[in-house]
Amino acid sequence: MRIPDPIQISMSRAERLADQYVDENTCMECGKKVDYELLCPSPTGDGPAVCVECLGFDPFAQQ
Q: How far is CA 31 from the centre of its chain?
A: 11
| Gyration radius (Cα) of the chain, Å | 14
- Read off the pLDDT of residues 5-60 as tens digits, 9 standing for 90 and up: 776 666 666 677 667 777 888 888 888 999 998 888 877 777 778 899 888 887 66
pLDDT of residue 57: 81
Instruction: Specify the 3-state DSSP secondary structure of 8.
Output: helix
Structural domain tally of the chain? 1
Q: Is the overall model pTM greater than 0.75, yes or no?
A: no
pLDDT of residue 14: 62
| Residue 9 CB contacts under 8 Å (≥ 6 apart), including other chains | none
- Give the residue numbers spanning the domain of 50: 1-63
pLDDT of residue 35: 92
What is the band of 61 on the pLDDT scale with cuts at 50, 70, 90? low
